[in-house]
């Protein structure tokens, strides 16, 4: 059936809502941090009546964040940030619960663009962005709406890179908080969330054994660290390729093999990209790869490997399993691409574990709350998340685990703040 327009929304099928509700309710059960801050912070009236536009991978965890913001009084509009990560049953459930949605699974390029523009045309005051998809289009195509925006927060490394470029060009017109750079986001989401969920998606979609296989990790940022950690933990031989010599040496010190990607292309059984850059695997690599290799992307866009070159090289292509495309080369070798090169963990799976996104979306919820209260006093630019937000989230999560962090004594605090050499007390201990 065609897309259905309901309550200013565009979704695939409202009849799918019951399964979407079940998914969202499951997330709610395992989101103690979001549940706590929704009562202690979001319920203070700051978001009442504020127009918020959000584009993040539209599945149950994102939907739960949307519902908490709407429950705090926000007028919310949601779009998907990737054509293959949107879940139609979740979209239907959101609309049934009163949230405006413009999203369907696997739309055409024109439809995907239209959904993002429809989201912006609601005239948001606050933006929760992924890959700077909304902010970039706002600046380029909707300059008349820019003055409505008091601030935005950004979810991804890719989006931060774009925002830095905007800042350098002098075209960023409002303050943006780098949610991706918050310690409670990138130290957990980028590393543990991506590592866990990408390997789960790879294995569940291929039904193959990873122990003993050579897994080539392209990039050794926080995402690459997670991919390497989880592949290593499952018994793989991990090879890291990275242009930054310091990061590459760090990978070596962690015990991984390190080498140039053209050399690794001849060795790898599995290739995982997570660089935030484009064409890190291309024709030169494909020409060297072994028969039967798997290629999976954990980066934001589907251009981390050069699919256009692979299609040109291939004599045939076919779907050999759900979410697995086989490209047969003239010499008979077969290369397998997962999820059409999209983010494997979310385009071919359910994404990060709920407990990880509980932390990430707590960052986003508190970021938009902070902007709603303070953005008028902040100049346009790109800013770190306030340290107190990170600490609040960490302490809240620890409290749900029944853990109280150590507390420094007044003497210890004074010692840390002094440059003078400490003395010793009568028993000989340092004072």
Distance (Å, whole) CA 44 – CA 72: 8
Give the pLDDT mean for 327-344. Answer: 97
Return the number of other C-beta atoms located less than 10 Å from residue 33's C-beta: 26
pLDDT tens-digit series, residues 27-73: 999 999 999 999 999 999 999 999 999 999 999 999 999 999 999 99
The string over 314-340, giving b where at least 16 C-beta atoms fall within 10 Å of a residue's C-beta and e elsewhere, is beeeeeeeebbbbbbbeeebbbbbbbb
Residue 257 CA, chain-centre distance (Å), reads: 27
Give the pLDDT mean for 259-281. Answer: 97
HSE on the CB side for 210, CA within 13 Å? 27
**E-state strands within 63-161:** 75-79, 100-102, 126-129, 151-154
Q: Is the pLDDT of residue 424 over 70?
A: no
Fold of 192-347: Rossmann fold (3.40.50)
For residue 335, what are the β-bridge partners? 327
Q: Is the pLDDT of residue 125 over 80?
A: yes
pLDDT of residue 420: 80
Range name among 156-160, 289-293, 311-315 with the lowest pLDDT average: 156-160
Same fold, 4-185+353-396 and 192-347: yes
Q: Is the pLDDT of residue 82 over 60?
A: yes
Residues 314, 320, 323, 328: what is their CA dihedral angle, to the nearest 10 degrees?
A: -10
List the chain domain ranges.
4-185+353-396, 192-347
Taking alpha carbons only, the member of 180, 145, 187, 184 closest to residue 159 is: 180
Average pLDDT, the chain: 95
By the 8 A CB rule, do 385 and 177 touch?
yes
Give the pLDDT mean for 121-142. Answer: 97
Range name among 186-200, 287-301, 417-431 with the lowest pLDDT average: 417-431
By the 8 A CB rule, do 162 and 132 touch?
yes
Return the number of other C-beta atoms located less than 10 Å from residue 150's C-beta: 18
pLDDT tens-digit series, residues 155-200: 999 999 999 999 999 999 999 999 999 999 999 999 999 999 999 9
Give the pLDDT mean for 70-90. Answer: 96
pLDDT of residue 6: 56
CATH architecture of 4-185+353-396: 3-Layer(aba) Sandwich (3.40)
pLDDT of residue 428: 45
Range name among 242-246, 304-308, 422-426 with the lowest pLDDT average: 422-426
């Amino acid at each position: 059936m065609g897309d259905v327009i309901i309550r200013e929304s565009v979704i695939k099928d409202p009849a799918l809502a019951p399964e979407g509700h079940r998914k969202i309710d499951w997330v709610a059960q395992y989101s103690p941090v979001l549940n706590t801050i929704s009562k202690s912070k979001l319920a203070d009236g700051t978001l009442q009546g504020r127009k918020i536009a959000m584009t993040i991978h539209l599945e149950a965890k994102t939907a739960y964040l949307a519902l908490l913001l709407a429950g705090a009084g926000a007028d919310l509009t949601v779009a998907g940030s990737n054509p293959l990560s949107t879940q139609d049953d979740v979209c239907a459930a959101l609309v049934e619960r009163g949230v405006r949605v413009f999203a369907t699974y696997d739309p055409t390029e024109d439809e995907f663009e239209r959904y993002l523009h429809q989201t912006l045309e609601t005239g948001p005051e606050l933006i929760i962005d992924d890959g700077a998809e909304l902010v970039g289009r706002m600046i380029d195509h909707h300059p008349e709406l820019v003055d409505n925006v008091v601030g935005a927060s950004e979810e991804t490394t890719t989006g931060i890179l774009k925002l830095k470029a905007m800042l350098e060009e002098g075209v960023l017109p409002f303050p943006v908080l780098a949610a991706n750079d918050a310690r409670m986001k990138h130290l957990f989401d980028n590393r543990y969330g991506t590592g866990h969920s990408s390997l789960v998606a790879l294995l569940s979609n291929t039904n193959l054994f990873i122990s003993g296989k050579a897994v080539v990790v392209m990039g050794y940022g926080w995402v690459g660290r997670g991919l390497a950690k989880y592949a290593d933990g499952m018994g793989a031989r991990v090879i890291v390729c990275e242009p930054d010599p310091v990061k590459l040496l760090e990978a070596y010190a962690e015990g991984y093999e390190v080498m140039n990607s053209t050399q690794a292309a001849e060795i790898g059984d599995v290739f995982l990209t997570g660089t935030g850059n484009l064409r890190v695997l291309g024709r030169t690599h494909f020409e060297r790869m072994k028969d039967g290799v798997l290629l999976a992307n954990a980066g934001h866009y589907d251009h981390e490997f050069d699919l256009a070159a692979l299609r040109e090289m291939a004599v045939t292509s076919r779907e050999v399993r759900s979410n697995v495309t086989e490209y047969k080369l003239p010499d008979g070798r077969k290369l397998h691409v997962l999820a059409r090169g999209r983010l494997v963990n979310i385009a071919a799976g359910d994404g990060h574990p709920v407990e990880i996104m509980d932390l990430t979306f707590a960052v986003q919820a508190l970021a938009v709350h902070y902007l709603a209260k303070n953005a008028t006093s902040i100049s346009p630019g790109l800013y770190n998340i306030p340290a107190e937000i990170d600490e609040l989230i960490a302490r809240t999560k620890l409290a749900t685990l029944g853990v109280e962090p150590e507390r420094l004594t007044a003497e210890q605090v004074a010692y840390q703040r002094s440059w003078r050499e400490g003395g010793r007390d009568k028993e000989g201990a340092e004072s």
